[in-house]
Chain A
Amino acid sequence: METDAREVAFFGRITAAFTHEMRNVLAIVRESAGLMEDLLTLSKNDSFPHKERFVRSLATIEAQAKRGIELSGRLNRFAHSTDEARVKIDLNQTLEQIVFLSERFARLKGITVSLIPYSESLPVHTSPIGLHMAVFFSLECCWDRMSTGGSIALSIGQKGSDAIVSFVCQGHVAVAEGTSGLLQDSEADRPIERTVESLGYRVECSATGPGLALIVPLDG
């Protein structure tokens, strides 16, 4: 199914609006828990049955509200990645966001994903949602061929007018016979190939070991 840019932007707009509402809900939960905590502080000399459990439950509510705020914030940023068809974005920040969004998928595969940030800000003029897709599909291409317990390390480099995102796989990686690396010209590899082609990127198998290199023009 092909989705056009207007549909993606609409989806992002509605999702972003709802993440804002979720923030309001979480803000109310957090303030209400905070008020109960304030009241407990005021009555610290008093004791009542199950006070310990009450305090513990309040701490749980606060911690989960905080977690929800982080998640809704991330989802909000992701939804806003559909705002502009092409825009200048910082590669470090965007990859940090994509790694966060990928963690749940990687965890279900038993794989950990980490990012070694570039030493400085590296602006890239590209489609934000397209970059998200290209990096996510590259990660998926890696973890689909890895055994549980492995890890993928992303790092960023620059060569001429391109940024290079390297995906280095550690642990057992299953490479099909007769192929030179993770890309196997199979149906499963089509999403990444179609995505990188439409964005003007390239994806290559790593020359130094199991992994991929995603080549992103700085001014695409």
Chain B
Amino acid sequence: MARYSVLLVDDEKEFVTTLAERMQMRGLEPKVAFSGEEALEVLEGHIPDIILLDLKMPGIEGLEVLRRVKKSHPQIQVIIVTGHGSERDKATALRWGAYDHLQKPVDINDLVRIMDRAFQKKADAGLLMSTGSAWTFPWQFRGLLGKREAKG
């Protein structure tokens, strides 16, 4: 099973914290940021393998965060997860290097499969430069790790 770090960026706090908790239960290492600015600050200290990024947020919008991330850290796989995406935004995000563009809500098992593939692509390209291992958690839910592998 792939182990990687994920940064979730979304101003919908209830959504992003619940999603992070469910990812944690599946053995992933999520960290959350509630705005584009906060996400860029996090990147100064930790470089995740994957970023899940909302598009419409107050302050720096998702597309701008994507542009800056791909410029400064092209090895990070960015997956757009949004309830606001137009076809134009989707085309722009993919053109600017997003790995995928998903509409909220996404089934968590589907999302994890997509993240696994994104991480694998990064690994295949020899781009494993993550400092995400610094993101540690006090517990793991073995039951859901099994569930993830079984569905995987």
Contact = CB atoms under 8 A, between A and B. Distances in A.
Contacts of B22: 31, 34-35, 38
Nearest to B17: A31
A27 B104 contact: yes
Interface stretch (A18-26, A175-183, A205-213): A18-26
Nearest to A43: B143
B144 A41 contact: yes
Interface string B56-87: 10000000000000000000000000011010
B86 A28 contact: no
B143 A41 contact: yes
Given A27-B105, A28-B14, A20 B56 contact: yes
A64 interface: no
Given A20-B56, A26-B105, A35 B83 contact: no
B141 interface: yes
A28 B84 contact: no
Contacts of B56: 20
A42 B24 CA distance: 13
A31 B23 CA distance: 11
A80 interface: yes
Q: Which 5 A-B pairs have the closest CB atoms?
A: A23-B83, A27-B105, A31-B18, A27-B104, A42-B143
Interface residues of A, number: 20
A158 interface: no
Main secondary structure of the interface of A (DSSP, over half): helix
B21 A35 contact: yes
Interface of A: 20-21, 23-24, 26-28, 30-32, 34-35, 38, 41-42, 44, 65, 69, 73, 80
Interface of B: 12, 14-15, 18-19, 21-22, 25, 56, 83-84, 86, 103-105, 108, 141, 143-144, 147
Interface centre among A32, A34, A69 (most CB of B within 10 A): A34
B108 A28 contact: no
Contacts of A41: 143-144, 147
Contacts of B105: 23, 26-27, 30-31, 65, 69
Nearest to A29: B105
Nearest to A42: B143
Nearest to A31: B18
Nearest to B18: A31
